[in-house]
Amino acid sequence: MDMRLGGRTALITGGSKGIGFSIAEMLAAEGCHLHLVARSRDELQAARTRLLEIASIDVEIHAMDLAARGSAAELATRVPQLDILVNNAGSIPRGTVEEVDEERWRAAWDLKVFGYINLSREYYRRMKARGHGVIINILGNGGEALDAGYIAGAAGNAALMAFTRALGGQSPKDGLRVVGVNPGPVATDRLVGLMRKEAGTRLGDAERWQELAKGFPFGRAATVEEIAATVVLLASDHSSYTTGTIVTIDGGIVNRGSLI
């Protein structure tokens, strides 16, 4: 299917690897010009090299910490005009309310929760002035499958779900769309690393990490490409009547209540 995205410009935070880079790859293949944001300049440069092998597009990189105060405004000054914003940067640590102290909680929310809100504020204003644009927030099914052992993430993702629905519900009057995607377990390097560590602890062999995926739907985690394909569809005019909603891609975990 032709997504008719050629010539548009997208900015992807956390775009140097994992889900973010997979989204960048698919948008590049559609002919989108790209701005990638992450903390590591080396990883961004490597990502840019790979993307330029895919298509003849413009790829700009921005090495910066979006948790820092004022970073969203600085980025919007560097890149004032966008068609698509994909908020994807950040992860929130597991732990109970007793285990996650204020410093770790605030640091995680500064990047993911306030990072998403601040960039959305900056680019909503600019997109509104032009009368078109799409904001896509990559959240996580922890905001639906509430777990006291992931309480900072559950609360953060639930807050961003409400933010996305509220902003997206009123955005049509400004000619814009705001949507969210809630991935479940995704086979990123980060997840595989965590599973290897867990396999070493529980099974005595890190190489047996794939055995831990037996409890996942279909016996596996989602691929980054499965998440990215949905994001590209939502970014396109094929989804031009979709706003203020969350698409959950977790193999039905939320609806079955557990991995067991």
4-18 pLDDT per residue, tens: 999 999 999 999 999
pLDDT of residue 260: 44
pTM: 0.94
The predicted model gives 31-59 an average pLDDT of 97
Contact status, residue 212 vs residue 195, Cβ threshold 8 Å: yes
For the segment 115-170, what is each residue's pLDDT rounded down to a tens digit?
Answer: 999 999 999 999 999 999 999 999 999 999 999 999 999 999 999 999 999 999 99
The DSSP 8-state label assigned to residue 209 in this structure reads G
The CATH superfamily holding the domain 9-186+222-252 is NAD(P)-binding Rossmann-like Domain (3.40.50.720)
d(CA 39, CA 15): 10
What pLDDT shows up at residue 257?
52
Q: Indicate the domain borders of the chain.
A: 9-186+222-252
Counting Cα atoms < 13 Å in the Cβ hemisphere of 92 gives: 34
Note the Cα 251 to chain centre separation in Å.
Answer: 18
pLDDT exceeds 50 at position 2: yes
b/e map 59-94, b = 16+ CB within 10 Å: bebbebebbeeebbeebbeebeebbbbbbbbbebee
- pLDDT tens readout for residues 229-259: 999 999 999 999 999 999 999 999 999 854 4
Q: H or E element: which one contains 159?
A: helix 151-170
